Amino acid sequence: MKRTLIHNALLINEGQTVQGSVVVTNQGNIAEVLTCGRPLSAPCDETIDATGCYLLPGVIDDHVHFRDPGLTHKANILSESRAAAAGGVTSIMDMPNTVPQTTSLEALDAKLALLDERCVVNHSAYFGATNSNYTDFARLDRQHVCGIKLFMGSSTGNMLVDRMESLRAIFDSTDLLIAVHCEDPATIRQNMEKYKVQYADEDDVPVSKHSNIRSAAACYASSSLAVKLARETGARLHVLHLSTAHELKLLQAGPVEQKRITGEACVAHLLFSQADYRTLGTLIKCNPAVKTRADRDALRQAVATDVIDVIATDHAPHLITDKKGGATKAASGMPMVQFSLVSMLQLVSEGIFTIEQVVQKMCHAPAQLYSICGRGFIREGYRADLVLVRPQSPWTLGKEQIFSKCGWSPLEGHTFDWRVERTLVNGRTVYDGHAVDDTYRGEALCFNR
């Protein structure tokens, strides 16, 4: 058995930062965690000098759209998992709004097989809820399906569940985690008609009005209904991509493992606000929309105080041509998986978060939330999903550094102070700071249920 020593890093793990080293094996496990002068139990075959670097558990992104199958002109599993690996993301959970939609057991099996065949990092997929397929929930493989995805607001690849009897049945039909996109369609339609009339003489409604169309009121109306249904039924609810300060009143602070109702913040809503439409335009158009700076700052505070439990990306690549237009014509979504970790570490440099908080929200909490077996922590016996990052190593993002198939990022031209130096998936170096080893295939995530 080959042993590799990652030597002399600052380990960020379980709320602590300590100098140490980690031994990983070619069987994919963490064999030893060496801190406080503890010596090696046996020699190693290879040493990676991590002096000056931080060693983190690999990021677990519970919210990505890899567009495969059916939308591979935008992205595919191989291209987007390469981007994930380059960003220090070692596990992903893919959303069901593909073609065909992952709303039948057959489509789910096909999606999982595609991930096994093509994904460079570890993986799972959601089963998409419809108005009528909740009777299939009991037949899902609980060990390998991360959860149920429910659209209580229409978005890309409309999978809207809009019947109250269906919503109640969905919440009452499973104890699997129900991950919900919350926006009220009626409020959005009303707002949309108002702005279409106001800008009837123009080619499109300005993208700056997208946040008014997909408004804070639309978000709260839907998320409050989801929380109400979860409380009435005892369902396990995870509210995705929270975007408003008002919605935070629906959640409680505390350890993620003690909650039945949890919340996610996405990188875009932690970075951007409505003011950024002036410079970035439709590049930051997403659903739910970015809101005010006050909303952004409230989300940041909620991350720091354990009201929000997870940071994810809602990685949603489109061709740059799809982003033309305004509030009604431009596609919603942006590619973020490659730059999520360095973006959040940049907020560490700015004093917004601590590095321990970033690791908690991007690594530990997703593992706890989904009961992922043997991942998300630097622990002996766990799978060796690890990322080395170097601080005070500034670089500026150019188009040539983007691994996503769509070839663009709203962060182009931004200078980061942190650099991903190496990503290990199951003990294998899949990104060496320059290139991705796309001959490697990650493992199917296993859930302890």
- Active site residue ranges: 314
Q: Give the C-alpha separation, 409 to 419, whole Å.
A: 17
Q: Give me the residue label for tokens 């069901």.
A: 96
The DSSP output letter for 364 is I
CB atoms within 10 A of CB 185: 17
Amino acid 398 reads G
At 393, list the tokens: 């190593």
Q: Give the C-alpha separation, 34 to 42, whole Å.
A: 12
The DSSP output letter for 134 is G
Please report, for the chain, how many H helices and E strands are present, in that order. Answer: 12, 18
Is there a contact between 337 and 61 (Cβ–Cβ < 8 Å)? yes
Q: Give me the residue label for tokens 């099996």.
A: 109
Amino acid 389 reads V
Side-chain-side CA neighbours of residue 164 (13 Å): 3
Three-state secondary-structure class, residue 17: strand
Q: Give the C-alpha separation, 65 to 217, whole Å.
A: 26
Q: How would DSSP label each residue in 286-349?
A: -SSPP--HHHHHHHHHHHHTTSS-EEE--B----GGGG-SSTTTSPP-B--TTTHHHHHHHHHH
The DSSP output letter for 273 is -
Q: Give the C-alpha separation, 99 to 88, whole Å.
A: 28
Is there a contact between 56 and 309 (Cβ–Cβ < 8 Å)? no
Q: Which residues pair with 13 in a beta bridge?
A: 16
CB atoms within 10 A of CB 67: 29
